[in-house]
Homo-oligomer: A and B are copies of this chain.
Amino acid sequence: MALRGGLPTESGAVGVEGPRLVEEALRSASPVRAVLFSESGERHHARLAQYLDRREVSIPILRTTDRLFEGIADTEQPQGVAALVIPRSFSFDDISRSPSSTAAPLIVVLAGVQDPGNVGTILRTASAFGATAAVASPSGQSGTANPFAPKSLRASAGAALHLPLLTGMALPILLAQFRATGIQSLASSSRESAENDQPLFAPWEVDWCQPVALLIGNEGSGLPEEIERSADARIRIPMSSSVESLNAAAAAAVLFYEAARQRSSLA
């Protein structure tokens, strides 16, 4: 079992470290293949016992020395508890479905977000504001950081294990699928409007109560132009000066806040 480095392993499993993430993994619907405690990590056993001691599950519990644990841990100050999790895989049908009869789909699409900390923070924020699913797609020159990489998982505080997450679908196909299923695709844009371009909407000019997918692009270059053009609408957060911009995580917080604000009036 190697926790360090890129994930998932050949078996499709990812390692998660620390009592909070292990608890999130055990609470999620993702299968947990094993839980590992180091000697000093034993102190976290009580917190996790309610998930480990259920009759209907039998999760192998491994024990190791502190020294061995440090050798396989990804963090600098390992807390002595880790789990090996199989992230569930989701189809387009899974992520485009309404999770309940009252909430329309609200999907976050990571399209070229390269920093794993941003990927995790955006998933966490979107989830906390009521996102129903997520997509991680490569975009033009820039890939999206792996949502299950250690840094992404930590920044997501486990949201990557809870949100239905679709990976590996190319953006043009994704947009066509959204159109076919009646989901509005919204491109988060940092470009000034140009002639003959689609109009730019302020976040509050868009109806977030309908089924919506929000596309968030690369930290530096944003979304590829052709993707912005193929989306149903472009959104830009109005700021007093055109040179100003929010970082990717703060912009996502503002946009999902707007969705939550509009949806709260329906609840």
Binary CB contact string for chain A from 62 to 87 against chain B (1 if under 8 A, 0 otherwise): 00000000000000000000000000
**Chain B residues, Cβ within 8 Å of A202:** 261, 264
Q: How far is B207's CA from A19's CA once the two chains are assembled, in angstroms?
A: 41
On whether the beta carbons of B125 and A240 are closer than 8 Å, the reply is no
A267 to chain B, nearest CB (A): 10
On whether the beta carbons of B246 and A253 are closer than 8 Å, the reply is yes
**Chain B residues, Cβ within 8 Å of A124:** 244
On whether the beta carbons of A128 and B264 are closer than 8 Å, the reply is no
Q: How far is B87's CA from A238's CA once the two chains are assembled, in angstroms?
A: 28
Asked if A129 is at the interface (CB within 8 A of a chain B CB), the reply is yes
CB within 8 Å of B: which A57-109 residues: none
Binary CB contact string for chain A from 220 to 257 against chain B (1 if under 8 A, 0 otherwise): 00000000000000000111110010110111011001
Q: How far is B127's CA from A171's CA once the two chains are assembled, in angstroms?
A: 35
**Chain B residues, Cβ within 8 Å of A203:** 257, 261
A219 to chain B, nearest CB (A): 15
On whether the beta carbons of B204 and A125 are closer than 8 Å, the reply is no
Asked if A206 is at the interface (CB within 8 A of a chain B CB), the reply is no
**Chain B residues, Cβ within 8 Å of A261:** 202-204, 258
**Chain B residues, Cβ within 8 Å of A246:** 125, 128, 253
User: A250's contact among B239, B240, B249, B264, by CB below 8 Å, is which?
Assistant: B249
Q: With A128-B244, A254-B254 in contact, is A264–B238 under 8 Å at CB?
A: yes
**Chain B residues, Cβ within 8 Å of A174:** none
Asked if A130 is at the interface (CB within 8 A of a chain B CB), the reply is yes
A71 to chain B, nearest CB (A): 31
A195 to chain B, nearest CB (A): 24
On whether the beta carbons of B127 and A240 are closer than 8 Å, the reply is yes
Q: With A244-B124, A246-B125 in contact, is A238–B260 under 8 Å at CB?
A: yes
A173 to chain B, nearest CB (A): 30
Q: With A202-B264, A204-B261, A261-B204 in contact, is A128–B254 under 8 Å at CB?
A: no
- Top 6 nearest A-B pairs (CB, nearest first) are A128-B244, A128-B239, A250-B253, A254-B257, A250-B250, A204-B261
